[in-house]
Amino acid sequence: MESFKRILRLTIHNPAGIFGVVTLLSFFLIALLAPHIIPYDHMEHQYVDGKLARSQPPSKLFWLGTTYYGRDVLSQVIMGSRPAVIVGFLAALFLTFIGTNVGLIAGYFGGRIDDVLMRITDIAFGIPFIPFAIILIALMEPSIWNIIITVACLLWRTTARVIRSQVLSIKERPFITAARVSGASDSRIMYIHILPNVLPMSFLYIALGIAWATLSEASLSFLGFGDPHMMSWGQMLYYAFITGSARRDWWNVLPPGFCVALFVISAFMIGQAYEEVSNPRLKRRR
């Protein structure tokens, strides 16, 4: 665990890591304070001189303009940070938890257990995410929690493969043999002796999982399968395209698109910084 803490400390001193951490923390604070800092109700129709403020360009009254339906874009962008943060962090934790445990069990026990778990992983790799998500959400109902479940059910596959390869190496080391000889149970060896050594890699996949989950949520919302009760950046893009605003009103497209890109890039930058610190050979190759 000491090496894990050391890598984490060094990561936040990396310029890319600092940028990523500060940006994600900023989005988290915005999401937390969203209801208190939005200038208008994000679903309320705005009026100017008694007329619906439809597709108003940015101005002193509406800093990022209004949508085709006369709603304030800035308020929607701020509220859109909530599903991004919720889906990004929760789905990343769930998929990393599933992938780490699958890789840990498969790598430690080997044999038939390994074969079964890796064949399940191969099947997960063979399922295209977007069609799978559309079918699963259509069978249930569009909601933010069903999106989280969908992401966690499929995107654990890469984490499982990488953790398994690490466990295959770690379980042959002398300290594992010593623990087995001393009478330690399989669960104790896996979760007390092996898990701390693969946690740094799991942390990397939490950072990458945040990016994958946020991008998945934006994609599903853009296709019309987002939570209808929560405004999201993907949903803003969806409404901009179905109303034709995307072709003429740049303020309906650029703010949510920029937020999606910035959120995803920040998570990837944290992952890149963490990977370079944990594996210095990557930095020397550049």
CATH number at residue 280: 1.10.3720.10
The single-letter DSSP state of residue 14 is S
Element (H, E) at 47: strand 47-48
Say what percent of the chain tops pLDDT 90: 54
Over residues 43-68, the mean pLDDT reads: 91
Rg (CA), the chain: 22
User: Structure pTM?
Assistant: 0.87
The overall average pLDDT reported for the chain is 88
Q: What is the pLDDT of residue 72?
A: 95
Domains: count for the chain: 1
* pLDDT above 60 for 284: no
Structure tokens, 230: 């929560």
Range of the domain at 15: 2-285
Q: How confident is the model at residue 102 (pLDDT cuts 50, 70, 90)?
A: very high
pLDDT greater at residue 50 or residue 264: 264
Identify the three-state secondary structure at position 11: helix
The pLDDT of residue 273 is 80
pLDDT in tens, 116-141: 999 999 999 998 888 888 888 888 88
Q: What is the DSSP string of 67-108?
A: -TTS-BHHHHHHHHHHHHHHHHHHHHHHHHHHHHHHHHHHHH
pLDDT of residue 78: 96
Q: What is the pLDDT of residue 57?
A: 92
pLDDT value at residue 172: 87
DSSP state of 66: B
pLDDT at residue 89 is higher than 80: yes
Instruction: Tell me how far CA of residue 65 lies from CA of 34, 47, 72, 87, 191, in angstroms.
Output: 18, 12, 6, 27, 53
Mean pLDDT across 53-73: 93
Describe the crossing of helices 144-154 and 129-139 by its angle, rounded to 10 degrees.
140
